[in-house]
Amino acid sequence: MMTSSAAVSPVRRGAGVPSWCAALMVGVGALGAGTPAHAQSLVGATANSAGSSTLIVIDPLTGANLPYLSVPVTGSLNRQVYFLTQIPDGRLAASIYTENSNADVTSELMLIDPQPGTSGIIPFGAPLNTSYLEGLEYSPRHGKLLVSFANFGNFGTNRLAQVNFDGTVASTTAALAGISDLDTILSSDTLDLFFDLNATSSPRVKNLVNPLPATTFAGFSSPPTQAAWFDGGIHPTTGEVIFTRPISGMSQLTRLVGNAYVAGANIAGGRQVRGMTWAFLPARGTVSSAPLVCPNVPVTLAATPVGTGPFTVQWQYRGGPPPASVADWTDIVPGVNVAPAGTGAPGRFLFNATGATTTLLSVDRATVPPGDPGEPNWSHAGVGQFRFRAVITGSVGAAFATADTTFQLVSDLNFDGVVGTADLTVFLGRFGQPAPLGSDAARADFNADAIVDTADLAFFLGRFGSACP
């Protein structure tokens, strides 16, 4: 069982910057200005599969990747998420593009909230809603999205639009001289690069010298003609230009160095990535769970953080099934942990823990200290459910990833790994006794109603003969 994380606080829409993003921003300019290299993640949008695209966090050196968030892409499976970029309020913007269509009259803008993980698709305003869209990028120098577009049937004539974050068009330019097929735009604090890579003339990468409405371009690079490529980004600290291009049915990470392409790793897993950008991503994650836990056998739970690191992890525990208040969660500490009665489930629980602040948590039974009236047992509240969660904190906010773990064999009263006649003897010795929390009889009070009675006997007999594998 894998349980996805839940974000701590939502992204505020409209004007302003969400709290998780504001801490990493410098001034009111571009995302990433003045921040350390680790402060952004390379994120890509995979090809539409069964009506959804998966955002993945990519290692720019090895191509290894982790899934971050799935976003629905409605309509035809030919509709793809292209030209991913991040806008100042922390959301990701992308264009929805229909492959193999020269008459896509439903050009649309996708907006994705990384926190709490929602998305929506809205139409572009005129004239983009009836045009052939090509590149899309947030430009810090303009404070808007830059979108390149062409009229249907006239792909050699490209224009630029400045687009607001609600999809409305603020302005458009006349036809861009000397640009035949503008497919990709990459921007930084100081650059707006326009890629015309399949042009026969050079330079094939041009920089917009002055912000619009001026359309004066200067040559930036002239790599070899390249007929197929997708999207990328300019690293906010190093200035490295990286993009993805299709190679033999896969996506290859490629750098632009001077006038040359430097081929890097393929994106692992055979993933085809259309949109890619550098972005601040709030922490998310998953936690593995162990549905069956046996007495005296250590259990390891693994947390997998994803988003923008570096990450820290703090494991917490809570007894009993939900609902329970957030206050019921308790930080796990190395060594013996004692959960007193009333912290989310009846009874008292003792366990040993290692790795309480790492991605791997190991827990097992604790030995009862001399004179301690408690029992070295897990929860005996009904089915014996115990809950763990990892609080995953990245450089952009925190998230909770929770695992529900049922500790079986709560009827194993002598802790030998089998519910048998020896346990029946222990149970019958407590039958009919009051069972207040913390008492010796309480461990036979399986339904936690403060008395050992026929209901507990039925619970016990229903598990008679159970054993650890």
Domain identity same for 74 and 187: yes
My answer on whether 364 and 293 are in the same domain is yes
**Whether 391 and 271 share a structural domain:** no
pLDDT given for residue 13 in this prediction: 26
- For residue 93, the model assigns a pLDDT of 97
Number of compact structural domains in the chain: 3
Q: pLDDT averaged over the chain?
A: 78
Ranked by mean pLDDT, the top range of 48-57, 192-201, 367-376 is 48-57
- Tell me what pLDDT residue 198 has: 77
The HSE-up count of residue 12 (CA atoms within 13 Å, CB side) is 10
Strands 205-208 and 217-221 turn out to be antiparallel
User: pLDDT tens digits for 226-244?
Assistant: 877 789 999 988 999 999 9
Residue 339, beta-bridge partner list: 349
Q: What is the CATH number of the domain that holds 462?
A: 1.10.1330.10
Residue 120 has pLDDT above 50, yes or no: yes
**HSE-up of 181 (CA within 13 Å, CB side)?**
13
Over the stretch 409-439, which tens digit does the pLDDT of each residue have? 567 777 677 888 998 998 999 999 998 765 6
The model's pTM: 0.77
CB 317 within 8 A of CB 387: yes
189, pLDDT greater than 90: yes
Give the 3-state DSSP-derived string for 339-386, with helices as H, strands as E and coil as C: ECCCCCCCCCEEEEEECCCCCEEEEEECCCCCCCCCCCCCCCCCCCEE
CA–CA separation, 20 and 37 (whole Å): 18
Instruction: Give the residue from 279, 301, 322 where a domain finishes.
Output: 279
Examine the domain organization and report whether 367 and 453 are in the same domain.
no
Q: What is the CATH number of the domain that holds 75?
A: 2.120.10.80
Average pLDDT over residues 192-218: 88
Examine the fold and report which residue of 389, 408, 427 is the final residue of a domain before the chain moves on.
Answer: 408
Q: What secondary structure, in 3-state letters, does 192-251 show?
A: EEEECCCCCCCCCEEEECCCCCCCCEEEEECCCCCCCCCCEEECCCCCCEEEEEEECCEE
Higher per-residue pLDDT: 469 or 75 = 75
Residues 54 and 192 in one domain: yes
At 167, which amino acid appears? G
Does 338 have pLDDT greater than 60?
A: yes
Q: What are phi and psi of 38, to 5 degrees?
A: -75, -5
Question: Is the domain of 417 the same as that of 373?
Answer: no
Asked whether residue 115 is domain-assigned, the answer is yes
Q: Among residues 279, 312, 327, which one ends one of the domains?
A: 279
Structural contact between residues 366 and 350, judged by C-beta atoms closer than 8 angstroms = yes
Query: Are residues 219 and 301 both part of a single domain?
Result: no
Residue-wise pLDDT for 382-402, tens only, equals: 334 567 888 898 887 777 776
If asked whether residues 243 and 152 sit together in one domain, one would say yes
The residue range of the domain holding 326 is 283-408
CATH number at residue 386: 2.60.40.10
Residue 94 in this model has a pLDDT that exceeds 50:
yes
pLDDT for 262-290, tens place per residue?
A: 999 999 999 999 899 999 999 988 888 66
The reported pLDDT for the residue numbered 404 is 54
> Is 143 inside any structural domain?
yes
% of the chain exceeding 70 in pLDDT = 73
